Structure 1
Amino acid sequence: MTQNIPLAVGLVLISSFCFALSAHLQHHAVDTQLSGNAQKQQMSFRTFLTAVRKPRWLLGLVLLGVSAVLQVTALFFGPLSVVQPLGLLAFPWSVLLAARATRTWVPPRTQLAVVVTVASTLAFTLVTGIHAAAESDLVMRKVIIGALIVYAVAALFATLGAKGPFAWRCLFWSSGGALFYGLEASMVKSIWEYVKTQSWPYSAAIFGILVALVVGAIAAGWYMQQGYATGPSEIVVGSMTVTSPVVAVAFGILVLGEGVGITPAAAALMILLGATAIAGVIGLTRFHPTYEHRAPEELGSTASGQVSP
């Protein structure tokens, strides 16, 4: 299929709004279910089953599905390292939705965190778009190794999300989910490249990638719900939309061979911009009103446990 980057960008723009609105609705459903949970500890599975029956949560699920379909379609028309970072636009969408819902102005420091994150990621996208290879070089062994590394790091983030300091739990949970989402995009791209070059109907490789897609989707969804249970939706969306493209771009460059045209100077600039974008999300975690007015001992709490329904 011929690449059409403008079409891919347009699809991702719509996808980003659907994702932000989905996060807003599902966070509201989960947060309402956990009312009175001052410590916002890890949500139990029974509590989750109660939350998912709420109409808002179900509508959010539909929007999440629409967002995913648009994102996958965009991958057919543009390079992974260009398409995936643009999902970051869900971040400012989510901040605006939260401000509208609470009828409050966005605090200046939050505005700065959003601007820094969006500007850095868009610049990151521009650099990768200029240097990204038009075609991918698929080596299945590299795909498997890359996926296992992502799974291992995501498991570490889950541990930190469940037992780490209170103020960082939401960030760890949502970043772990973002690792899976970044891998999902990479797996879809891998399937597309495999189908273009191999006989695939009875391929064990295709079956393995499909299993990885299903497992990753379930894990990512669970991580996101834990993020909603332990912090505001803006932090979930922010960390998801920064970590996910970083993973996807790294996978595209290191595994799919999309970085053959990247010069040392471009690589250094990409690292700097990626670090700045991540710093912006961390800044949102520190400056968000949900955390600003909590006592220091509460923010540093490392207590863990399950929330009762």
Structure 2
Amino acid sequence: MVSASGTSLLLAVPAAVVGAASMGLASAAQARATKEVEVSRILDPGLLRGLAHRPLWLIGMVATGAGLALQLVALAFAPLLVVQPLLITSLMFAGVISARLERRPLDRVMVAGALVCVAGLAGFLVVARPSGESAGFSAATRPLPLAIVLGTVTVVALVVSVLFHHSLRVLGLAVATGVLYGVTAGLMKVVAGQARDGLAEPFQNWTLYLVCVIGPLGFLLSQNTFQQGRFLTPALAVITALDPLVGVGIGVWWMGETANASPWALAGEAVAGVVILVGIALLASRAEHLARAQSGADPDVPLNASEGTA
């Protein structure tokens, strides 16, 4: 007989994976559509107005809605520490769909880099052995330190994206997007818990309204990221890695969820983090190489616009 927790996982895991596939489709469609409109300033809502007339972008929006709904279902039945790492699989779906939309074959090195990122997150999940059934903020935790760290990282990333161009701009945008997405996921977990007490309950708490502010900001930044980057996979790897990692931090620090914190486990989690970084570095390096090849530049000479436009 399947236990209650087992039944919850049977609902949560497929919902999270299908949700990741939907988000992968959304990212690929939106990234393709952003290349068809004029480049805009960071956080300029005019970008969304221009995209609203693009059918491919609208398809991405429908996929985004489906992905978020499935993510909400998954969060209602499983801890953040289980759901969030599964979302990294959206990177694989996005890479495949993006190649099809651009009518180009899959690049083996890009695929390898994405697989390394997925393996790193999967390894983190196995070592961390997440547990907990939190449905709201824990009174025993102190939210301010993590909030300060996340806020500082977001601000610094945005400053980098404004002051620099090309690869650093894309990196800054991707980091800020990943942090905001992770925070949104954590708050959505709280909203899902509140909804168990009635559909009207979330509207009586501030969490839902904060989601309505942070979520759209993260989404607008993601469109800026897709537009600035030449290739989808490297930027999306940063976003999809940071999103679950921030979600894990929120689950532990704000909601009282637990993870294996033994010395060996911490070492294993650190190794998994390094694996993720290696995957991202591999993707970024390959993207630069492909950009040089496409532009006809010397492969041994750095390309100033390897990851974005001025």
Question: What TM-score do you get using the length of structure 2 for normalisation?
Answer: 0.83
Structural mapping, 1:180-219, within 5 Å: 180-192=180-192, 207-219=205-217
Compute the displacement of 1:161 (Å): 2.0
- Partners of 2:154 and 2:223 lie apart in 1 by 15
**2:51 matched to 1:51?**
yes
Partner of 1:265: 264
Partner of 2:32: 28
Structural mapping, 1:3-82, within 5 Å: 3=5, 4-34=8-38, 42=42, 44-82=44-82
Contact kept? 1:41, 1:162, Cα under 8 Å: no
Contact kept? 1:242, 1:278, Cα under 8 Å: no
Distance 1:267 1:253, change over 3 A: farther
Compute the displacement of 1:71 (Å): 0.4
Deviation digits for residues 237-261 of structure 1, max 9, x if unmatched?
Answer: 3222111001011121222222264
Compute the displacement of 1:131 (Å): 4.3
Name the Cα RMSD after superposition.
3.1
Distance 1:300 1:61, change over 3 A: closer
Question: What TM-score do you get using the length of structure 1 for normalisation?
Answer: 0.83
Compute the displacement of 1:84 (Å): 0.5
Q: Which amino acid aligns with 1:258?
A: E
Partner of 2:178: 178
Q: Which amino acid aligns with 2:286?
A: F
Compute the displacement of 1:234 (Å): 2.1
Contact kept? 2:85, 2:125, Cα under 8 Å: yes
Q: Which consecutive residues of structure 2, in runs of 5 or more, have no partner in the other structure? A: none
Compute the displacement of 1:262 (Å): 2.9
Deviation digits for residues 52-79 of structure 1, max 9, x if unmatched?
Answer: 2212112211110110110011011111
Structural mapping, 1:217-228, within 5 Å: 217-228=215-226
Q: Which amino acid aligns with 1:211?
A: Y
Point out which structure has higher relative CO (alpha carbons under 8 A, 6+ apart): 1
Partner of 1:298: 304
- Partners of 2:102 and 2:260 lie apart in 1 by 46
- Partners of 2:194 and 2:143 lie apart in 1 by 11
Partner of 1:307: none
- Partners of 1:62 and 1:131 lie apart in 2 by 31
- Partners of 2:61 and 2:54 lie apart in 1 by 11
- Partners of 2:139 and 2:193 lie apart in 1 by 10
Contact kept? 1:170, 1:235, Cα under 8 Å: no
Distance 1:50 1:175, change over 3 A: same
**What is the total number of aligned residue pairs between the two structures?**
294
- Partners of 2:61 and 2:307 lie apart in 1 by 32
Sequence identity, in percent?
A: 20
